[in-house]
Structure 1
């Protein structure tokens, strides 16, 4: 058995996986990773990337550059131009990132699910009663980014961003094992709530959720890095028009993006839990 096979076998055992990725000083380890990943020392960089490869299916063949200054530089890598074309159909809501489809479906009044049988409320997630009303009986889809994936995320539709709310919280792992064991996990983790209006002037909200080892969420359009532990949400008004496919920011490790829409969107026939999608791929279509 190879080292990668042994590691994979161990981490697929739920009790061991949960212990290794959650029953540790999550915040301290996450802050450490934020510092460590930015060390620009060749042997630190090379050893870190080599270890990363042991634990994942890391593939750097799509990266825009072949040499990285640090582990952080590799995490947040750009791709070569043209590798993530966004569906040009104006009725299509595209995936903002690479990811694995988790729970998705209709929002039952104001309730959605992190996995089957594990509900949470819109208000607990976004903290804004007006947004809750905008998405009541709407649609939601959860995309999980693994550590080896492309970590940048983009506008899923033409639209306008008018506010971002930074909500402090924990850094639980967001893998399926943790989602089965930690109630309302997404509502407990640090996250950003990006309030948009689509080109059709309908509510469209993105909620990037941080997780263990995610030292920060970077938002380009505000020149903002969300990585603090505030007691209260911090609200950042903005006035930014974005085009479908425009880069909005990045995670500094794998995590999750939750997309909320109105009820006038329907999912594509091919969308299912466990499906791997790429940024730009069609997720939903607006109903006429």
Structure 2
């Protein structure tokens, strides 16, 4: 009987441990409910001609078009008059990742604003810090401007592993921003030569949207010395590591991160003379940046 008690205790302990393991595994492996709605896309990627250079020969720039019908690329480019948005993929990413954002954007432009119920569900309650009534919002029947989605093809390179690659991506994004704005000027001039009515003004800036390392590239491009003044005023980053590289395998990666973050810190300093007198506002005072972190379903 005395030998039975230790054996019984051991069995109880093993059963308890197995129960803990099973509960833990269930919590880790159980399916997570996904509140997203399936996005259906009919993508066409229109190549944007670029000048012959080292980086432009290696990388590429595309304009996204949503629709199943065949289109004339030249005529479509000639009709550009929306708000330019540039998507920057992340580590090992593809320029085709722009399709879900661009497709939903086009669908929203064609179909108008969402119903009030959506905004009511997404809005903060008074207990959560909200202080406005969503019913007071006046939603338009249709958005005033279409978003023209561009995307850079960075060859799926692993920018999270090498600082040199990250710098090359930054330089090409700066070039792509200039090329996009130049394309609007070319399209405007082409319509003017044909006698078409010119109503929209030329865009002066490009909205940047970067996923993962692409978000850091967007920030790096904004403080690049060759970027034209005020050509970037809005940045949206998705699951982007801003403070430090996720895997600092090379010193060049950490050094590049430090230099860019230092530029951003200095960009918010008020410009003063040696006497301490006010000279101008911070260099980045015109830039709005929104960083959205990843969720349970974001594994990149």
Interval containing the TM-score (normalised by the shorter chain): under 0.3
For CA contacts below 8 A with separation 6 or more, give which structure has more relative contact order.
1
What is the TM-score normalised by the length of structure 1? 0.24
- Give the structure with the larger helix fraction: 2
What is the TM-score normalised by the length of structure 2? 0.23
- Give the structure with the larger strand fraction: 1
